[in-house]
Amino acid sequence: MDGNETKCPCCGAPDKEVHNFYKYGSLIRVCKNCGEKYLDRSFREPAIQGVHPRAKNNYKNNFICIIGAVIFAVVFAAQALWFYKTKTPFGYDTQNQIGVLIISAGAVIGCILQLIYNKLGYMDKYNQRFIAESERRLQDPEYVKELLAFGIYVPKKYIKKEK
């Protein structure tokens, strides 16, 4: 979770709020100081605006994972070769070499795990949770009216006709 600090346009009071990495949530915020509602465009309503481009399981993300794994594997191999060839007594340089070996090995493992995570579709499942939460919010006619009043496009399927 990350923090977000915006200022209320009515009273100017700072409004700190905890949110997820992609800032999914209601676009309408309520000031804790004056109680006024205001629009915060830094948030995303996934059912309307879609998921964040970096949150999608796409080829670009998979390609970046593969490139990262290859780069860190090359660093690991070069460092292991240097460590093997130098055979220095255990000292400051050796500690640095071992540190680089451990970090690059961890990075290779992390890249491979992220690639597996993407390939198995967990990112899509992660996004579906936020889309479902967004659709629940959009079932509230008052919330939809407020979005429309702030000039936010809302698909017709969420707009309930009054009788």
* Tens-place pLDDT, residues 93-130: 677 777 778 888 888 888 888 888 878 878 788 888 88
Domain ranges of the chain: 2-51+141-158, 58-120
Q: How far is residue 37's CA from residue 151's CA, in Å, rounded to a whole number? A: 14
Q: How many CB atoms lie within 10 A of CB 111?
A: 20
Mean pLDDT of 24-29: 84
> Which of 31 and 163 is assigned the larger pLDDT?
31
pLDDT at 91: 56
What does the pLDDT read at residue 126?
A: 80
The pTM (predicted TM-score) of the whole model is 0.61
Is residue 33 scored above 80 in pLDDT?
Answer: yes
Q: What is the pLDDT of residues 51-65, one digit of tens each?
A: 876 666 667 777 877
Residues forming beta bridges with residue 38, ordered by sequence position: 29
Tell me, what DSSP letter sits at residue 3? Answer: E
